[in-house]
Amino acid sequence: MVQHTPIPVTEQRLQEIKQATAQDPDMQQLIDIIVQGWPEAKHEITSHRVRQYYNVREDLVVQDGVIFRGQRIVIPQSYQRRVLERIHSSHIGINDCIRRARECVYWPGMNSAVREYVEKCSICHSFERSQQKETLQNQDVPTRPWAKVGADLFTFQDREYLVTVDYYSNFFEVDRLESTTSEEVIYQLKRHFARHGIPDLLVTDNGPQFSSAMFQKFTRTWDFSHRTSSPGYPKSNGKVENAVKTCKQLMKKARKAQTDLWLAVLDYRNTPTQGMSTSPAQRLMNRRTKTLLPTARALLKPKVTEEYKAIKQAKERQKSYYDRTAKDLPVLKESQRVRIQPFTKSKTCQEATVTKQLSDRSYEVQTPDGTTYRRNRVHLKATKETEVKPIAPERNSKDKTTNTTDKRKPRTAPTKTAAAEDKQKTQQTKSGRTIKRPSYLKDYTT
- Report the SS3 class of residue 366: strand
Closest CA to 112 of 67, 80, 68: 80
Closest CA to 279 of 140, 171, 197, 173: 171
Contact 109, 101 (CB under 8 A): no
pLDDT of 248 reads 94
DSSP 286-343: SS----SS---GGGGS------HHHHHHHHHHHHHHHGGG--PPPPP-TT-EEEEPPS
Sign of CA dihedral 33, 39, 42, 48: negative
Rounded to an integer, what distance in angstroms lies between the CA atom of residue 440 and that of residue 363? 50
Question: Which whole-number Å values give the CA distances from 376 to 119, 201, 206, 263, 398, in the listed order?
Answer: 22, 21, 12, 38, 54
Rounded to an integer, what distance in angstroms lies between the CA atom of residue 202 and that of residue 152? 11
Give the Cβ contact number of residue 150 at 10 Å: 27
- CA atoms within a 13 Å half-sphere pointing along the CA-CB vector of 341: 17
Contact 76, 27 (CB under 8 A): yes
Question: Which whole-number Å values give the CA distances from 50 to 78, 286, 425, in the listed order?
Answer: 15, 81, 69
Q: For residues 354-385, b (16+ Cβ closer than 10 Å) or e, as one string? A: beeeeeebbbebeeeeeeebbbbbbbbbbbeb
> Which amino acid is present at 270?
N
Burial class (CB within 10 angstroms; exposed 0-12, middle 13-18, buried 19+) of 296: exposed
Strands 372-376 and 60-63: unpaired
Rounded to an integer, what distance in angstroms lies between the CA atom of residue 342 and that of residue 351? 11
Contact 21, 29 (CB under 8 A): no
Give the Cβ contact number of residue 169 at 10 Å: 25
Give the Cβ contact number of residue 114 at 10 Å: 25
The DSSP call for residue 30 is: H
Provide the residue-wise pLDDT of the chain in tens; the chain has 446 residues.
444 444 456 778 888 999 999 999 999 999 999 999 999 888 888 889 999 999 999 999 998 899 999 889 999 999 999 999 888 888 888 899 999 899 889 999 999 999 988 888 888 777 777 777 777 666 777 888 999 999 999 999 999 999 999 999 999 999 999 999 999 999 999 999 999 999 999 999 888 999 999 999 999 999 999 998 877 666 667 888 899 999 999 999 999 999 999 999 999 999 998 888 899 999 999 999 999 999 888 888 888 777 777 777 777 887 788 788 888 888 899 888 888 888 776 678 888 899 988 888 889 899 988 888 888 888 888 888 765 343 344 444 444 434 444 444 444 444 444 445 554 555 666 555 666 666 555 554 44
Q: Residue 149: what are its φ and ψ, rounded to 5°?
A: -130, 145
Contact 141, 315 (CB under 8 A): yes
pLDDT of 265 reads 94
Q: For residues 45-73, b (16+ Cβ closer than 10 Å) or e, as one string? A: beeebbbbbbeeeeebbbbebbbbbeebb
pLDDT of 106 reads 93
The CB-based long-range contact list for 20-27 (8 Å cut-off, 24+ gap) reads 20/75, 20/76, 20/78, 20/79, 21/65, 21/66, 21/67, 21/74, 21/76, 22/65, 23/76, 23/78, 24/76, 24/77, 24/78, 26/50, 26/76, 26/77, 27/67, 27/74, 27/76
> Which amino acid is present at 38?
W
The DSSP call for residue 74 is: E
Closest CA to 33 of 21, 23, 44, 17: 44
Rounded to an integer, what distance in angstroms lies between the CA atom of residue 54 and that of residue 239? 62
Based on DSSP, count helices (H) and strands (E) in the chain, helices before strands: 16, 16
Model confidence, pTM: 0.54
Rounded to an integer, what distance in angstroms lies between the CA atom of residue 306 and that of residue 302? 13
- CA atoms within a 13 Å half-sphere pointing along the CA-CB vector of 207: 16
Rounded to an integer, what distance in angstroms lies between the CA atom of residue 340 and that of residue 111? 27
